[in-house]
Amino acid sequence: MTLPMFPDQAPALPDIIPARRIKGQVSAVLVALGGDFVTGDAASISMGYDGIGGDYHAGPTRRSGSREPWYPRGTEMRNERQVSIVASDELAIVAARMGIDRIEAGWIGANLVIEGIPLLSMLPPRTQLFFEGGVTLRIDGDNGPCRIAGASIARNFPDRDATTLALDFVKAAKRLRGVVAWVEKPGLISKGETVSAHVWEQWIYPAG
């Protein structure tokens, strides 16, 4: 039997960024109970394995859409978008780019507003969010901005062209629209509680 040949030296590994924890605080909790994705303020929200009870995006599964072109539209798939999380500093940047004075988190369907974690929208997939009250959320990835959320913003600025403003949001909010997550450990999240983001080791996979 011929044994495989191995190089004398292993290939160079990419730079490894160590794991770390970053502290933040929940400044708002919101829930969508009105039959669409727009959310309203709440004092606290109960998280189960299916997401937020009664929320528009709750459920163990969801139907695929434009974000999943590898499936026929409407395919049932795992719901990794149970919770939408944003940062007010990033929303302020998006609003300035769009030439409007503000973007309310509820207009774009956010469930949590978190302060104190820099570049929230760039937290990598697999990051865990440990909340003071015992809930753990696992981040799936960044939330790509869409025209539907842009149209929701535009409804609050009737003096502006709705179509233009909706499309402006898609461009202005790229990598600033927050992240989506699923419930790893259920419980209650309340406004004002602390949260710790556990960012795992990171590296850039060398394609080739």
Is residue 84 scored above 90 in pLDDT?
yes
Beta strand segments in the chain, E: 20-31, 40-42, 44-48, 51-52, 61-63, 76-78, 83-86, 112-115, 128-131, 136-142, 179-185, 187-190, 194-199
pTM for the whole structure: 0.92
In this prediction, residue 13 has a pLDDT band, given cuts at 50, 70 and 90, of confident
What value does the mean pLDDT take over residues 179-207? 96
Helix (H, G, I), strand (E, B) or coil at 23: strand
Is residue 11 classed exposed, middle or buried when 0-12, 13-18 and 19+ CB atoms within 10 A define those classes?
A: exposed
Is residue 132 scored above 60 in pLDDT?
yes
Helix (H, G, I), strand (E, B) or coil at 3: coil
Is residue 8 scored above 90 in pLDDT?
no
Q: CA distances (Å), 204 to each of 18, 36, 102, 201, in order?
A: 13, 38, 35, 11
Predicted local confidence at residue 139, as pLDDT? 98
Predicted local confidence at residue 34, as pLDDT? 84
Is residue 4 scored above 70 in pLDDT?
no
CA distance linking residue 83 with residue 100, whole number of Å: 26
Give the tokens for residue 8. Answer: 């004398």
**Percent of the chain surpassing pLDDT 70:** 95
Give the tokens for residue 1. Answer: 């039997």
Is residue 168 scored above 60 in pLDDT?
yes
**pLDDT for 22-64, tens place per residue?**
999 999 999 999 889 999 999 999 999 999 999 999 999 999 9
Nearest one of 108, 77, 68, 78 to 90, comparing CA atoms: 108
Torsion of CA 40, 41, 46, 52, to 10 degrees: 20
**pLDDT for 116-125, tens place per residue?**
999 999 999 9
Is residue 207 scored above 90 in pLDDT?
no
Q: CA distances (Å), 186 to each of 60, 67, 130, in order?
A: 13, 27, 11
- DSSP letters, 36-56, are SS--EEESEEEEETTEETT-T
Handedness of CA 45, 194, 20, 207 (dihedral sign): positive
**Partners of 27 in the beta sheet?**
none
Is residue 1 scored above 60 in pLDDT?
no
Bridging pattern class, strands 179-185 and 83-86: antiparallel
What value does the mean pLDDT take over residues 63-82? 96
